[in-house]
Amino acid sequence: MAAELDDDEINAEPTKAFFVDMLVRDIPLEQAILDLVDNCIDGAKRLAQAKQSSETPHEGCRVDITFNRDLFSIVDNCGGFDRNTARTYAFRFGRPRGAVQTAHSIGQFGVGMKRALFKFGKHFIVRSATSDEEWAIEVDVSAWEQANKWTFPWVEFGNSTTISKANPGTDIVVTNLRPEVAFRFSTSIFENSIIGLIKSKHRQFISEGLQVFVNSKRIDATNIYLHVTDKMQPGRDVLRFEETGQAPVDVNIIVGVGPSAPKDAGWYVICNGRVVLEADRRSVTGWGLLEDEANKTLIPTFHNQFARFRGIVSFDSEDSSRVPWNTTKTDVDQDSVVWVKTSQRMFEMMRPVIDFLKDGLKKTSRIW
């Protein structure tokens, strides 16, 4: 039972059903899956930091995603997380102060896994194993919504064919899917969409050795190509933003020209290795920018004549709250000081590339 109210108190607690509805309403189904992949990659990052490998730090790490009209599952062998983390942090709605942080994390907002579980269906089981321990929870969402406590019950780990102390990782299964989710999970269009998004958003980690499978189909890494000519090399610059008492943010900017492909032209914005914007051609990345004085066009609005433009800006920080992305990792935080100052340099570096696009291109070189 909920605690009794004093005469001078008003009950402002949310109902669980309302909370769940608000939690999942505005996130696309695809993004919910990407959030779960982000969590797997954070596990792979922890393993890589322990191994201190350089060229292929995620070699040996694997993520298997399966979905159909009956279930969703995601299994990884990326080290798992311990019972204490599960008990005190992992299933909280939001990241509590004092929570252990993964350096250079891409799952830092503390809501992705829970949002995905409730988005997909009405029943879920989460198992995780480290080299020292195993644990599991099982939740019937309808029953949980009727209970007063905001807690999840432990259950027996049971026999698992996917993870163990000898093969640490995390295994999530969601059943009793929401009808609209079950329908989309059953279509080849949705499967192809997820494959394309993971190939784009997680391209760096895949190129560094991470294996990702969607319904048994392995996803290959993709690259961005820039042309090199005698007249022009890709423009490069590095920035660093430091603030007392906080982790610095390192920024790497590359601009140049690539193959003529309008759908690939624009800016690519990357935060801690995770692609946030791909081939962006909006004003936020400089297109259609006007000079403050005389109302002159500094950067034109995108047109197919700029189909060869490629710009890459990569932000990296040990503290992932410092990089300029929004909470769903679908756009930049335009109010971030780091973004505002970096974008000014991006716009400066765009102009000579735009002017150069009238010239011919001879030689191709992969740079990322």
- Position 344 scores a pLDDT of 94
Residue with tokens 């279509």: 187
The helix (H) or strand (E) run that includes residue 240 is strand 235-241
Residue with tokens 């989460």: 126
For residue 223, give the nearest of 50, 364, 85, 49 by alpha carbon.
Answer: 364
Better pLDDT: 215 or 368? 215
d(CA 64, CA 214): 6
- Position 110 scores a pLDDT of 61
Percent of the chain predicted with pLDDT > 70: 92
Identity at 90, one-letter amino acid code: A
d(CA 317, CA 306): 32
- What 3-state DSSP class applies to 97? coil
Identify the burial level of 325 via C-beta atoms within 10 angstroms of its C-beta, where 0-12 means exposed, 13-18 middle and 19 or more buried. buried
What backbone torsions phi and psi does residue 290 show, to the nearest 5 degrees?
Answer: -105, 145
Ordered domains of the chain (ranges, CATH): 16-218 (3.30.565.10), 225-366 (3.30.230)
Tell me which of 8-22, 121-135, 206-220 is least confident.
8-22
Strongest mean pLDDT among 6-10, 173-177, 220-224: 173-177
pLDDT greater than 70 at residue 304: yes
How would you label 226-244 residue by residue, b for 16+ Cβ within 10 Å and e otherwise? bbbeeeeebbeeeeebeee
* Span 142-166, average pLDDT: 94
How would you label 134-153 residue by residue, b for 16+ Cβ within 10 Å and e otherwise? bbbbbbebeebeeeeeeebe
Contact of 358 with 231, CB cutoff 8 Å: no
pTM for the model: 0.90
For residue 181, give the nearest of 294, 28, 14 by alpha carbon.
Answer: 28
- Position 367 scores a pLDDT of 44
- Position 8 scores a pLDDT of 82
pLDDT greater than 70 at residue 366: no
- Position 295 scores a pLDDT of 55
* Span 175-188, average pLDDT: 98
Could you read off the pLDDT of 82-93 as tens digits, one per residue?
Answer: 999 999 888 887
pLDDT greater than 80 at residue 293: no
d(CA 227, CA 235): 11
Provide the token pair at 335. 């109010």
Could you read off the pLDDT of 14-61 as tens digits, one per residue?
Answer: 889 988 988 888 889 999 999 999 999 999 999 998 877 677 899 999
Identify the burial level of 266 via C-beta atoms within 10 angstroms of its C-beta, where 0-12 means exposed, 13-18 middle and 19 or more buried. buried
- Position 61 scores a pLDDT of 97
Is the sign of the CA dihedral 342, 345, 346, 347 positive or negative?
Answer: positive
- Position 52 scores a pLDDT of 72
Residue with tokens 């340099």: 345
pLDDT greater than 60 at residue 360: no
